Structure 1
């Protein structure tokens, strides 16, 4: 424990020195970010300023009063993203009228490719109430960092970009506070067992 604490102090001092020189701190690995999520070591979620598939500016404040299912990915993702979106769509369908109290949000990790128009074409394949968000590279990075999302991009030989990314669905409460996450492969039925108690709870008075 003593050695671990010393290492943490040294890393902190190195980070401060880098910041003083104007250097960007190194990106954390997928394992480090997973550790943060698993043990709630840091806040998850927070402010964002992005653009939806209709071209409208959107912030986190626009979604207050509903439970949020927030996922990050990209439209050219070959398997994980479509599977996650399909299960989110199924969960909303199974909820029926109760689904009005849940807002699903898909934030692209490939804003260079995933324009508002492309999101508007892509997302209705999964559910009509999905809100897609895009923005500048910097704005997307800020949102991903807030949600402790790991992602790295690389060019594809045939053109375009591949995005290696973590694939969690984040559950946020009506005030935007983090409740937990669904790991990749979570079924719609499993989501419902977690969602229903939160739907039944009355919103706190404002």
Structure 2
């Protein structure tokens, strides 16, 4: 089922949590809900053809990458930032746990963290961040210019915004869509996970997808 772009944004907005503050309690009840191809369907039916376009970024080594760099194997994508105090690291830890639950011998998808804070998240900063022991071992960090990052988020119907915080030592934080996007080996959206998914539900879905 193909939904209008604005409807997709509304539906995903209802499903996604912001990085540093919980969504208003009435958001999900007032926003349109995804039906066919969305959260109301099974794990293997959460696919919108409009989501998951091209990217043009740099990795933690400073190397230019595009979606073609990652084709040939499924990829799990998360938009976050290294200064995120809780949701981003908790999500990555959950993914790492899910990978450990996969059937023996099953290779987990490539794991991509695309920073929505390019001002602070340099390749060097990402290179340090992705080595966190509790994160997936195959985690790759991606960043770019503000325009490149914005284009990547728009391709995934994701959103982010800077929130100034004078009481914080960092000066500001970032609110952003908090979804995990699973792309197949041809860079087409296969399914997605929300903040309500656990390591167990992610692992179960991945096991079904990766054995296809």
Alignment CA distance shift 1:38-1:132 (3 Å):
farther
Q: Which residue of 2 aligns with 1:204?
A: none
Q: Alignment length, in residue pairs?
A: 175
Q: Which residue of 2 aligns with 1:98?
A: 106
Q: Which residue of 2 aligns with 1:131?
A: 140
TM-score normalized with structure 1 length = 0.76
Q: Which has the larger radius of gyration?
A: 1
Q: Gaps (5+ residues) in structure 1? A: 1-7, 9-26, 202-206
Question: What's the Cα RMSD here?
Answer: 2.5
Determine which structure has greater relative contact order: mean sequence separation of CA pairs < 8 Å that are 6+ residues apart, divided by chain length: 2
SS in 2 for 1:70: strand
Q: Which residue of 2 aligns with 1:118?
A: 125
CA contact (8 A) 1:66 1:102 kept: yes
Q: Separation in 2 of the partners of 1:180 and 1:62?
A: 20
Q: Which residue of 1 aligns with 2:34?
A: 38
Residue deviations 1:34-69, cap 9 Å, x none? 378935576001111100011111111111111111
Q: Which residue of 2 aligns with 1:144?
A: 153
Alpha-carbon shift at residue 123 of structure 1 (Å): 1.1
Answer 1 or 2: which has greater helix percent. 1
Q: Which residue of 2 aligns with 1:22?
A: none
Q: Gaps (5+ residues) in structure 2? A: 15-31, 38-47
Q: Which residue of 1 aligns with 2:114?
A: 107
Q: Separation in 1 of the partners of 2:77 and 2:33?
A: 14
CA contact (8 A) 1:33 1:150 kept: no
